[in-house]
Structure 1
């Protein structure tokens, strides 16, 4: 269930996890505006459809991937409507095989759990071990939807702010992919 009350400032953090509170603090520090909404757990793109309708944004799928050796990690942002074909992305990156990364890597590198991955988790990747991949269709959108490191809230943020403020702050760059 999606709560219809939208927020544009840091919500009361008494009932929120510290990792979510740190997201709001960083967005405030970077002067990144957002519109947010709280909702029931939304671990899948299907569960997020109603949320994206409330926020007025394109569904964004966030996939956390790794190479076979478990030495390279990737966060892929792609339209929720697109089908993910591992071999197509592996070919573009010149990697023999990509797999979904295990939950322990997601927790260690992004401080998130499955179903909560988003670009905002890169704030926790202080050694830039995660490579950001963004599908060209996501890049063409004015806004992106993302979880604040927990999948019981969603935020609508300008793509320009993510690219020019947030990623600059975290030290991450991105690679544009075509899926």
Structure 2
């Protein structure tokens, strides 16, 4: 059973990480997010759940307005050939979320460490980063430093590089 939002917040609290969360209607697109989330400072994310020909899985997290060349990204992230979007079943299996709720916080559910996390360098210039807390009905603000601490606590090593155009 995947971690719930409450499990996530308990894990963050256990790590001593302070966040703030704003509730809003479900957000499925960047346009929805910009229109419905309200005024929340910091960098807002867009997440790409990708897999390559050898079933390597990648979570690429970029700024919400970033442009990503999906035909070329495999060169940057170290994939074996071109990538495609992972299916909803694999997304649920590895990150414990449904499409529309993809988030770096889903790494709490990837206990086997199958997902390679790639954070866009431009996004990581923000002091505060905003992500879904395993649901697209809320936005959680976390400091860049604390986000990295969370990622390490899940057993993942983030790769920070320029993936957006």
The TM-score, its normalising length taken from structure 1, stands at 0.84
The answer for unaligned runs of 5 or more in structure 2 is none
Aligned residue among 109, 114, 121 for 1:124: 109
Would you say the 8 A contact 2:118–2:160 is kept in 1? yes
Summarize deviations over 1:74-102 as a string: whole Å, max 9, x none. 11110111112112311213431111100
Q: The residue matched to 2:71 in structure 1 has which SS?
A: helix
Aligned equivalent of 1:68: 53
Query: Whose helix proportion is higher, 1 or 2?
Result: 1
Q: Pairwise mapping of residues 63-102 of structure 1 onto structure 2 (< 5 A)?
A: 63-69=48-54, 71-95=55-79, 96-102=81-87
Determine which structure has greater relative contact order: mean sequence separation of CA pairs < 8 Å that are 6+ residues apart, divided by chain length: 2
Summarize deviations over 1:21-41 as a string: whole Å, max 9, x none. 111111111111111111111
Would you say the 8 A contact 1:52–1:59 is kept in 2? no
The answer for unaligned runs of 5 or more in structure 1 is 1-16
Aligned equivalent of 1:24: 9
Q: Aligned partners of 1:57 and 1:48: how far apart in 2?
A: 14
Would the alpha carbon gap of residues 18 and 105 (structure 1) be closer, same or farther in structure 2, given more than 3 Å must change?
closer
Summarize deviations over 1:88-126 as a string: whole Å, max 9, x none. 311213431111100001100000000101111001100
Q: Aligned partners of 2:130 and 2:71: how far apart in 1?
A: 26
Aligned residue among 35, 55, 58 for 2:43: 58
Q: Aligned partners of 2:147 and 2:36: how far apart in 1?
A: 20
Report how many residues are paired.
161
Q: The residue matched to 1:151 in structure 2 has which SS?
A: coil
